[in-house]
Amino acid sequence: MSAATRLRRLDEERQIIVVERGEHVSFANCGLPYHVSGTIASRDSLLLQTPAALAQRFRLDVRVHTEAVAIDRAARTITLRDVATGTETSQRFDTLVLSPGATPNTPAALAGDARVHTLRDVADLDRIMESLAATVEDAPLQNAVVLGGGYIGVELAENLVARGLSVTIVQRGPQLLSPLDAEMAAPFADHVVESGVALRLGVEVTAGDAESLTLSDGSVLPADLVFSAIGVRPASGLAAESGLALGPHGGILVDELHRTSDPAIFAVGDVAEKTDAATGEPRLLPLAGLANRHGRAVADTIAGLGSSLPATPSPRALGTAIVGFRGLTAASTGWNERELRAQGRPVRVMHSHPLSHAGYYPGAQMLSIKLIVDPASDRILGAQAVGRDGVDKRIDVIATAMSAGLSASALADLELAYAPQYGSAKDPVNLLGYLNRNRAAGTDATLQWHELEAALDSGAFLLDVRAPGQLAEGLIPGATHIPVEQLRERHHELPAGRIVVHCRVGQGAHTAARLLRNLGHDVVNLDGGYLTWRDAQRAHAIRDNSPVSTPTPEGATR
């Protein structure tokens, strides 16, 4: 609909036909989970336009309950089938835009199970609401199982909990929210569990009966309702049958103007593969913002065909996304460290834990932010953030910087709005720029949490420079504690050789590292401090469904 309405605004004379297999042509799909809980009370508020309204305002020929079943590229015709009657007709086209979206995946073990729901459109939502209103022997449905721990799965779980159901998330992978790295996802997973959701990681459904599901580890879950949110696959069958080229991930292959291998046919939305901003390779990114923008871009290109107006390529895709769960927010843009290292790419990584606004102003909340940079070019490759306040604007600023081609060091110089209730004079985004400049200049050598064990095995000395009152949070095993304020007088107590220094978040350790280096010591800073290390340990414990323990303050070496 973005393509159709934009094209009408650009061209009043063109005949524009919209074909939709279902009933609804313009609805707020991202708002669907929030009607499940009643947060969005009215279903009708999710319906943005009707065929009649679109015809009246935009003179669009909108044909619902009509399926496109074949494309004759040579004749420039498309075969349409009336869903109700099965009657087929042939429609000629000059230009064709394909936007059939994607098809939800469901486990093979649950094929045909009436309890299993997906959530992609209003019809899916209606079926879910009918099931939630149903009773079994006069008792309300109580146990819901959500398959998949991605954005949709988390949103469904949040709204099912708000509705009063007992909810379990089953995730085949080792963590929630796979776009995040493990140490960033762990606090979010803890919050989900603390909110009453049971979390099962590293397992999948192998069988089901009328009342339960059996998992791959042999455990059995009660399940009145099952929601499949294990991803989607591009609905590219029609394109493939017509001979259009597909990309490596099964979506329709398009160029920078969203043209398919046939110049008269375009493809946008979840069915089309996007060009990734970091790698330049095709990638599937089923995101609403990209779909809307690309639909508009296609209309601009079509309106300019045959004219002297230059077509404008769409920017490469970052994959910026955000999700919330009962007050906690997680967001990401670009690639994560895990994926980049798997590709063999060198990375420079920074973790920080700043406050959402000035600490002296009431209500400041701690953020966890991660920035990933190409060490050779200083190009930003990705970022992640988790927190209760200010996550969205920090990720949006970084995504904007990435789109503009700004370097990671340039983040330090961004002039961002500041008042105590909104931020700090040195915004968390600025601080990332400062951290990166120090790393790039070699003035702050760092070690990542997953590199610490190897460093200690090689003989490094672990130094904890936190304030004494901060030790109650826990200790990294083997650390010796000397507060940063005492280092000048006590640095002679430190052994020769490499010293790994850490504080709570990294800032105090940076001061300590600079001091000790100036006094002749070989020092490296544990990036992100104790909090990042702790979150990484929590990630392992959550994955293994086992409690994590860290030494008590009594075990510290003074």
Contact 98, 267 (CB under 8 A): yes
Q: Kindly give, in sequence order, each residue whose CB lies less than 8 Å from that of residue 170, ignoring residues fewer than 6 positions away.
A: 145, 146, 147, 148, 149, 200, 203, 204, 205, 213, 215, 221
- Report the amino acid identity of residue 199: L
Look at residue 276 and give its three-state secondary structure: strand
**Contact predicate 294/314, CB 8 Å:** yes
Class of residue 192 by CB neighbours under 10 A (exposed 0-12, middle 13-18, buried 19+): buried
Q: How many residues does the chain have?
A: 558
Q: Which residues contact 305 (CB under 8 A, 6 or more apart)?
A: 95
CA separation for the pair 133, 43 (Å, rounded): 15
Cα distance between residue 25 and residue 53, in whole Å: 11
Pair of tokens at residue 529: 């401090």
Residue 265's contacts (CB-CB under 8 Å, 6 or more residues apart) are 71, 73, 95, 96, 97, 98, 244, 259
**Tokens 């619902």 identify what position?**
64
Euclidean distance between CA atoms 40 and 46, whole angstroms: 8
Instruction: Please tell me the distance from the alpha carbon of residue 25 to that of residue 100, in angstroms, as a whole number.
Output: 11
- DSSP assignments along 227-260, one per residue: EE-S-EEE--HHHHHTT--B-TTSSBP--TT-B-
Can 503 be counted among the known catalytic residues?
yes
Q: Report, in angstroms and rounded to the nearest whole number, the Rg of the chain calculated over CA atoms.
A: 27
Q: What is the 3-state secondary structure (H, E, C) of 45-113?
A: HHEEECHHHHHHHHCCEEECCEEEEEEECCCCEEEEEECCCCCEEEEECCCEEECCCEEECCCHHHCCC
Q: How far apart are CA 518 and CA 19, in angstroms?
A: 70
Which of 503, 505, 523, 539 does the annotation list as catalytic? 503
Spatial CB neighbours of 187, under 8 Å, sequence gap ≥ 6:
328, 368, 386, 535, 538
Best CA proximity match to 237, nearest among 87, 96, 65, 70: 70
**Tokens in use for 232?**
């989607």
Per-residue CA distances from 465 to 434, 442, 510, 515 (Å):
21, 21, 10, 12
User: What's the 3-state SS for 304-350?
Assistant: HCCCCCCCCCCCCECCCEEEEECCEEEEEEECCHHHHHHCCCCCEEE
Q: Measure the CA–CA gap between 356 and 424, rounded to whole angstroms.
A: 8
* Residues annotated as part of the active site: 503
